[in-house]
Structures are given as structure tokens and as C-alpha cells.
Structure 1
Amino acid sequence: MTDSAALCANETSEELQGQPEPSGLPLTPQALIDVLIDIDLAYERKCKELSKSNLGATLQYHLLEKLRVQHSEQREPFAQRLIALQDELKAKGDS
């Protein structure tokens, strides 16, 4: 991997990992949505940066695929928590 490719890959991993992790704290639906938006915007920005880079097509493809997987893994717990929270609120409303 070239130095610029390694730098892109490291920046991508660090940026996605820099997002807050879900904790035991009860987050509001809006807070979860805000986190998901931040994660998605960071992902889109990194995809554009990688697509515009001078890296070879094969390397770009692999880095974009790695970015996609990281994005999916990072947003999953927040999406699941939001679904659970919506279910809890719906159950309370039905009671």
C-alpha cells in the first residue's frame, strides 16, 4: 500500500472510530438521529475524498469497501438503539 493510501485508510478508520459509542446512558431519539447523521456525513465526505484521490482504481475500490464496512458497523448499534427506543415509546403509548 502506498503512503497516501495508508494515510487515507488510517484517517478513515480514525474518523469513524472517533464517533461516540453507545453507552448505558438513555439517549433521546433526536440525539440518536443526530449521531447517525454525523456518522453518515463523515462517511460521505470520506467517500468523496477517496473517489477524488489519485489512488489506483483497485486500491480505491478496496478502501471504499473497507470504509463502507466500517460505516455499517459503526452505525448499527445506534440504529438498533433508536429502533428499541421507538418500540419502547410505542409500547408506552399503547398502554
Structure 2
Amino acid sequence: NRSLQPFGGIRLAVQPCESYGYEVGPEIVKIFTDYRETHNQGVFDAYTDEMKLAGKAHIITGLPDGYGRGRIIGDYRRVALYGVDFLLKE
């Protein structure tokens, strides 16, 4: 017997249950999809609009989820090549 651990992500909790023929209650799924934020949602909520635009222009980039948890890091080679004004227009 195992307990349900949805705090690591509701999808990570639902998939194993379904593979063993169990169903997670709809109330639990609703709570963890509508009311509780994931770690990455909380990280991105902290970003300003300017930071998000800089990410879209590839001035700053995110590492893959398994490594960087969605945090953004600078990629300043593009700034040197194209200039900030060009990248922000892009």
C-alpha cells in the first residue's frame, strides 16, 4: 500500500494511479490544478513583463526543466552580436 503524494505535481501522482487501475478523486485533482501552484508557476509569477519579453527575445534563456526548474539565465552572446534594441524588437 502506498499513499498519494500530489505535492510533487498532480500529473506525477495521477499517472501511476491510472497505470495500476486506480482513479484519483476529482476533488483532489481540482485542488491541485485550480488552487495550488507548481514550483515553476511560482517562479514565473515572480518575473516582470520585461523579463518575460527578454526571454522571448532570447536575450535570457531557460535551462531544461529537469536541470534549471524554469529559472532564466543570461545569454549575452546574442546581445553582443545583435544589440539590445534589435533583440527587443524581435
What TM-score range do you get, normalising by the shorter chain? 0.3 to 0.5
Q: TM-score, normalised by structure 2?
A: 0.37
Larger Rg: 2
Q: Whose strand proportion is higher, 1 or 2?
A: 2
Q: TM-score, normalised by structure 1?
A: 0.36
Q: Whose helix proportion is higher, 1 or 2?
A: 1
Q: Which has the higher contact order (CA 8 A, sep 6+)?
A: 1
